[in-house]
Structure 1
Amino acid sequence: MDDKTHGFHDEIFGRKDKVMRAALMDDVKGMAGFLLAKEHRGPGDTIEAASYRVQTKYGVPASFLMRLRHREVKDIMMSNFIALATAYQAALNKIDRAYEHEKALADNTKILRLARALAGEEGEG
């Protein structure tokens, strides 16, 4: 293989690698943003405080979360990525459990009968 062909090969795969890396970084930033948004308590709270709460709850370094938020990140340590992905999955599982709990409450026929009785409705529950 001559130098021209080899250089072309690297250019094509280098471009693909950059696109894949950019897509992965977008996903990583999205996970971090989700965790910070979920933890942020609204007016009067700061993103920095939310990042420290995420660090305490899930073990994702607050400095890593803030770096993802404020800078263009080209590479990350695998340990930070694994901590972030694990925290993201744990947060999603918590949301799913809360949804299932609320759904079970809404599907509970005793609660529906009680609500109907309090509303003065007659009917079968």
Structure 2
Amino acid sequence: MRITITSVLVHDQAVAERFYTEVLGFVKKHDVPMGGGARWLTVVSPDHPDGTELLLEPDAHPAAKPWKEALAGDGIPYTQFAVDDVRAEFARLSGLGVRFTQEPADMGAFTTAVFDDSCGNLIQIIQTH
């Protein structure tokens, strides 16, 4: 068994596509119309194009928005992405206008930072030492 797709709930797939590709640097892998304006829209790391896909999934379910708001309100990241250098990624993303809710913090075995993905989610980046 292996993880092939995971998802992040987004309020607008076009906004999410722009942010996750143009700002974060992921590459679009699938973009399939699903009806009702929704798309099966996935992105992957350019370093691992055949690796785990991130589905930019519409948050249309009635429970999704309150759940996302509760997580963000409590400062809890929805998911996390590994980076080689949190401080360098913090500087790069900050320069692109990304809003961070937690600046780089050394946690011993790893360093983390948390940003707002512009789609209603907090995302943590992590560097292991």
Q: TM-score normalised to the size of structure 2?
A: 0.27
Higher relative contact order (CA 8 A, sep 6+): 2
Higher helix content, 1 or 2: 1
Q: TM-score normalised to the size of structure 1?
A: 0.28
Higher strand content, 1 or 2: 2
| Larger Cα-atom Rg | 1
